[in-house]
Structure 1
Amino acid sequence: MVNFVLVAGARLGAWAWDDVVPWLREAGHGVRPVTLSGLAEKQGVPAGQQTHVRDIVDEVERLDLRDVVLVAHSYAGVPAGQAAERIGKRLARVVFVDSDVPVDGESFAGAWPDGGAGVEASLAENNGFWPPAPASHYDGHGLTERQIARIVADSTPHPGRTLTEPAVLSGPLSSLRATYVLCAPAGEEPDDDVAQLVADGHWRLVRMDTGHWPMFSRPRELAQVLLDAAGE
């Protein structure tokens, strides 16, 4: 048995994994979906980038979890990649689900093509928060109208400092035992940093022919990908 710790991306909470959790538990594993500070039921809790790192580490240590498979979607890859090296021997594997990965000294927003200018402008206009995305943001990702409506209804503003504060890493990402799940049509490739880690044999690449939110569009298939990664 392993312990899956599931962390969803920006604006989402533990609820985003509701359709994935039963498949993992049915396979006999422990499952701990995490809501990061300032989001969902934790709205109002002040949060910066390192707060989210501590959220993940504290959940593992508080429950004394071992054989942890840390799963991070989208934005959550940045704090999860930092938390992974701090979890140490408790960690079995990291699974990055169509996610960003941390770069020491660089923020989530700073990795964007515009250097984060668009995100920072949005934060300035919304009292320091990244507002929930409109329904149109989810078009073309294999989601039903009902699934999109659920995401829009349950998303919450994302605390801005978590997006603009830099990541802090003490070692290279190549030291992590990791699987990267690329959610994209066949033929697309991951970002250069991830592609290099895969090419060098440090990480394994798995492709899913679906959009950026597979926990909604393909929950059973994603659960199987996670189970396969746990068995590696």
Structure 2
Amino acid sequence: MTQFVLVAGAWLGSWAWDEVVPHLRAAGHGAHPLTLSGLADKQGVPAGQQTHVRDIVDEVERLDLREVVLVGHSYAGIPVGQAAERIGDRLTRVVFVDSNVPAVDESFVSTWWEGPAKFEAVLAANGDVWPPLTAPDFEGQGLTEEQIARFVGRATPHPGATLSEPAVLTRPLGELPATYIKCLLDGPEPTDDVAELLKSEHWRLVELDTGHWPMLSRPTELARILLDADGSAG
């Protein structure tokens, strides 16, 4: 019985997985959507990036989970990738869903595609939080108006410290068993750092023809990929 621990990206809480969880449980597996500190129903809780790593590790240990598949979407790939090496033999696989990946001494901000200075300015102008997206930002991402409204209505500001703190890894990320899901509407190719990791014999690539938030736009297909990731599909 696989235990899926599901962690959504910036601005989101456990609610983002509401349409994925039933598929995993119907297949006979455990599904544990997790809200990170400072977001959604945990809004206001002080959090840095290592807080988020501990959130994930603590959940696995609190529930005494084994045969764990850690799933990290977008920003959450950074803390999930760090948590994966810290749960030891409890881990079966990591699944990165169109996500960032951690690199030693690098942060989400430092690898921002438009440059760290621009991102730091956004945080500084907004009281050290990253404001949620607005409806026009979702154009071309395969979401319905209803799905966009749900996102905008439930999203919460993302704590800046979680984005600016550097990652801590004790082993090469490419040594972990991993699946990377590339959402094609958000760009046809993985980023350079992911492409390098995909050269590892332990990593594999799966493409999904949807936008950056497949748990909202294509939950059934995403659940099937998660079940296939470690041979759990029936």
Against the structure 1 CA distance between its residues 141 and 44, is the aligned structure 2 distance closer, same or farther, given a 3 Å change threshold? same
SS at match of 1:111: coil
In the alignment, is the contact (CA less than 8 A) between 2:175 and 2:200 conserved in 1? Answer: no
Within 5 Å, which residues of 2 pair with 1:49-60?
A: 49-60=49-60
Name the residue aligned to 1:10.
10
In the alignment, is the contact (CA less than 8 A) between 1:186 and 1:209 conserved in 2? Answer: no
1:131 corresponds to 2:115: no
SS at match of 1:119: helix
Query: What are structure 2's unaligned runs of at least 5 residues?
Result: none
The offset of 1:185, in angstroms, is 4.9
Question: Quick one: distance in 2 between partners of 1:18 and 1:35?
Answer: 12
Question: Quick one: distance in 1 between partners of 2:40 and 2:183?
Answer: 25
SS at match of 1:41: helix
Cα RMSD of the aligned pairs, angstroms, is: 1.4
1:159 corresponds to 2:159: yes
The offset of 1:196, in angstroms, is 2.1
Query: What are structure 1's unaligned runs of at least 5 residues?
Result: none
* 4+ long deviations beyond 3 Å: none
Name the residue aligned to 1:208.
208
The offset of 1:4, in angstroms, is 0.2
1:85 corresponds to 2:85: yes
Instruction: Give % identity.
Output: 69
Name the residue aligned to 1:197.
197
Aligned length: 232
TM-score (norm 1): 0.97
Question: Quick one: distance in 2 between partners of 1:186 and 1:79?
Answer: 21
SS at match of 2:222: helix
Post-superposition CA distance 1:9-49 (Å, at most 9, x none)? 00000000001000000000001000000000001100001
Question: Quick one: distance in 2 between partners of 1:184 and 1:16?
Answer: 20
Name the residue aligned to 1:103.
103
Q: Which amino acid letter does the alignment assign opposite residue 183 of structure 2?
A: C
Larger displacement relative to structure 2 (178-187 or 22-31) = 178-187
